Amino acid sequence: MMKKWMGDTNRPTVAARRDGTPNGAWRLGPRLMSLVPLVMALWQGLPHTALAHDSPLPSATLVQRDGGHFTLSLRMDAAGALQRTLLPESSSAEALALLSAMEPERFAQGWERATRLWSEGSAVLTQGRRHAATRWSWPSAREAQALLQRQLMPQLTGGHTDHEWLTAQAEFRIGGEPVSQAQLKLPAALRPLSLTALRPRQQWIREGNDPIPLRF
């Protein structure tokens, strides 16, 4: 299945120095070098992405709302997740180069497969029951590949950029009363990550200008 998706086995490889670092843009081939102007143009718009100014780690936030409704927000390392899902035998640097240089149609096939596996492998577990997401919102294949191409930029130019994350959202509806304990199941490809789980407090604020008491 993997070879069928990858297609031509005469693929470009990332040559490396003895210390394992990429050996320069000319080693990556004409296809990767042609990405330089494209990456510069894509840098202006970052839909479904976030720059890592606050935390250097991928993260997930699970929020329990009223009526048995959970929302999950993911901030994911797209290159790492795709490498672990689609190209587990490739190094991180090689996977980034291959995915960045891949034809958009072929990349879209791999992206659809990866997001389907990630969706199917995610669930909220309560009282022994497994609840799959009722809705997922993933970035498009075009957005995902554009992000990978921007991440490849420092390898092509020797420059530096802030790390970017892809963001995705999911909804889980388990029904019934709020729960005090639950488990979140995520596929191994999306881990490790920093997890925050919370249930917001909601209160009615009357008219006036008195200070509002808060409890944490």
Kindly report, residue by residue over 132-180, the tens digit of the pLDDT: 999 999 999 999 999 999 999 877 666 666 678 999 999 999 988 888 8
122: in domain? yes
33/5: higher pLDDT: 5
pLDDT tens-digit map of 49-100: 544 434 578 999 999 998 889 999 999 999 999 999 999 999 999 999 999 9
Is 145 domain-assigned? yes
Report the chain's mean pLDDT, rounded to a whole number: 80
Q: What type of residue is 141?
A: A
Res 38 pLDDT > 50: no
Total domains present in the chain: 1
Q: Would the pLDDT of 27 be above 50?
A: no
What is the Cα 81 distance to its own chain's centre?
7
Q: 17 in a domain, yes or no? A: yes
Place of tokens 């997001």: 115
> Would 205 be classed as within a structural domain?
no
Domain of residue 140, residue span: 2-198
Determine, yes or no, domain membership for 78.
Answer: yes
The residue with tokens 């294949």 is 141
Q: Do residues 69 and 171 lie in contact, with contact meaning Cβ atoms separated by under 8 Å?
A: yes
Q: Assess if residue 208 is contained within a domain.
A: no
CA 91 from chain centre, in angstroms, equals 18
